[in-house]
Amino acid sequence: MKEKILITGIEGFVGSHLADFLLEKGNYEVYGIKRWNNSRLRNIRHLLDKIKFIECDITDSISVRNLLNEVKPDKIYHLAAESFVSPSWDHPTHYMNVNYNGTVNFLDAMKVLGINPRFLIPGSGEEHGEIKEEELPINEETVLRPVNPYAVTKIAQDLIGYVYYRSYGLNVIRTRAFNHEGPRRDYVFGIPWYAYQIAKIEQGKQEPIIRVGYIEDKRNFTHIKDLVKAYYLAMEKCKPGELYLIGSEDSSKIHTYREILNLLIEMSDLDKNKVKIETDQKFVRPTNVPRLIGDTRKFRELTGWKPEISFEQLLQDILEYWRDFVRRGLY
């Protein structure tokens, strides 16, 4: 009998790639949440006949309990979240309602229904916030200094997961992933936003000006296809209750956003001498996270995971994705 897998946020960037990965394995029955009032199917249109959808609002405890009572999943990848940092300053209560309360609704429903599937909580490197140079690389014991409401909600989500593990023995798998990118991420995020503008300029749909926010923060990146493999291994091998950091440790992948933008321009058909980069204050956040570089040895040694796709390929995949969308007039 196939295992029942529930992916919350299956329509999103990570959720859609995870669905691809699990369905390719062929030994899972994959369920996804369909929101009655807002269904975005662009990322999973090719999988609609392979996924079993159940209507649910994760912020409604009764809705979540009904979902779990109907499906009784063996494993839950809890990927549904408000993940774009910038709006969290203007909507902190909404972010807490989705990211924290939505998680509590699942944990409490599992307790009430007497079921105990493995439940993966994907945290974020943003939780660490304002880390000093001498504190790098970040590990499982590194202090948390969140500097945006989104990060606070992810810390709350992580810690309530630990509470339900300690208090009720629920099989909560706690991960904290550092930056990851690839096709399908919305263009409100940094690298997709650069690639989208480049694609429009290439096709004569935008003047040769790329508008950006603050672009001096340093990051390293994991390709989304490598990340979903890591989440799969976390679900299969990690110990409930413990925290595991996931991400690239390749020093060649550490770049400022300015350097990444310049790399994308070099990959494009544009004359870099004719392209202007302008800071637009509406994209500048009240506070920044200057560096997020993780020590992921604990996870790697347990699972044997390591990223396989190069940073250059990651950028090329994103650029081609947005070229295709602009070409087809979808954006």
Decide if 133 is inside a domain. yes
Whether residue 193 is found in the same domain as residue 74? no
Q: Are 295 and 249 in contact (CB under 8 A)?
A: yes
State the pLDDT at residue 41.
84
Check which CATH number belongs to the domain holding 18 and give it: 3.40.50.720
Q: Are 184 and 321 in contact (CB under 8 A)?
A: yes
Residue with tokens 């500097």: 147
**What global pTM score does this model have?**
0.96
In tens, the pLDDT along 96-112 reads 999 999 999 999 999 99
pLDDT of 188 over the 90 cut: yes
Whether residue 190 is found in the same domain as residue 51? no
pLDDT of 180 over the 90 cut: yes
pLDDT of 252 over the 90 cut: no
Whether residue 69 is found in the same domain as residue 94? yes
Q: Are 175 and 238 in contact (CB under 8 A)?
A: yes
Decide if 272 is inside a domain. yes
pLDDT of 4 over the 70 cut: yes
3-class DSSP state of 171: coil
* Residue 55 binned pLDDT confidence (cut-offs 50, 70, 90): very high
Q: How do strand 180-181 and strand 172-177 relate by DSSP bridges? A: unpaired
In tens, the pLDDT along 57-96 reads 999 999 999 999 999 999 999 999 999 999 999 999 999 9
Residue with tokens 């269904």: 39
Whether residue 95 is found in the same domain as residue 201? no
Residue 314: which domain range?
186-219+251-292+309-327
State the pLDDT at residue 37.
61
Decide if 303 is inside a domain. no
State the pLDDT at residue 271.
95
**How many residues are there in the chain?**
331
The fraction of the chain above a pLDDT of 90, given in percent, is: 94
Decide if 116 is inside a domain. yes
Name beta bridge partners: 28: 3
In tens, the pLDDT along 264-296 reads 999 999 999 999 999 999 999 999 999 999 999
d(CA 267, CA 198): 10
Stretch 159-173: mean pLDDT: 98
Whether residue 106 is found in the same domain as residue 190? no
Decide if 297 is inside a domain. no
Stretch 288-307: mean pLDDT: 95
Q: How many domains does the chain have?
A: 2
Whether residue 102 is found in the same domain as residue 190? no
Whether residue 110 is found in the same domain as residue 241? yes
